[in-house]
């Protein structure tokens, strides 16, 4: 499996090697086999443009996913600036928060949804399990 990582932001220093390890660990845990997945780290301006273009909402967001198919699982656009802003207000580590955004995006590509309360609870539960799995494996950004 190829994990493509493109970093087009300068807000948070990220390791491509660690991102690939994180993505691979989560897909393996979920039993997903695919040829490729792409992770793009983008600026707040770029995530806002994508949010406006595809969801008619010009506000910044943490991540946006675009499913493709079973071979090319999809694309995840992550905004590390959102993690920095979140952690500045609520505490926490921006790298861990960014890892959560990646996990969240992967779960969206796997069919999880967070629009209604019941589905959101299921997704949050799965996110916690995935983050605990990464911690057990000592995989972090």
CATH of the domain at 127: 3.40.390.30
In-domain check, residue 81: yes
In-domain check, residue 69: yes
In-domain check, residue 61: yes
In-domain check, residue 68: yes
Distance between CA atoms of residues 26 and 121, nearest Å: 19
What pLDDT is attached to residue 92? 96
Domains identified in the chain, total number:
1
Is residue 42 exposed (0-12), middle (13-18) or buried (19+ Cβ within 10 Å)?
buried
Residue numbers of the chain with a pLDDT score lower than 50:
none
Residue 13 sits in which domain range?
2-136
What pLDDT is attached to residue 137? 96
What pLDDT is attached to residue 70? 84
In-domain check, residue 141: no
In-domain check, residue 34: yes
Distance between CA atoms of residues 107 and 98, nearest Å: 14
């Amino acid at each position: 499996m190829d994990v493509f990582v493109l970093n087009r932001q300068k807000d948070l220093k990220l390791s491509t090697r660690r991102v690939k390890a994180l993505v691979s660990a989560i897909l393996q845990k979920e039993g997903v086999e695919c040829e490729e997945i792409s992770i793009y780290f983008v600026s707040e301006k770029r995530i806002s443009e994508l949010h406006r273009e595809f969801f008619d909402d010009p506000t910044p967001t943490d991540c946006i996913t675009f499913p493709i198919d079973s071979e090319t699982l999809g694309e995840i656009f992550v905004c590390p600036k959102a993690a920095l802003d979140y952690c500045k207000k609520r505490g926490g580590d921006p790298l861990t928060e960014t890892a959560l955004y990646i996990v969240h995006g992967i779960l969206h590509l796997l069919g999880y949804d967070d629009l209604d309360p019941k589905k959101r609870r299921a997704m949050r539960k799965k996110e916690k399990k995935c983050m605990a799995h990464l911690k057990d494996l000592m995989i972090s950004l």
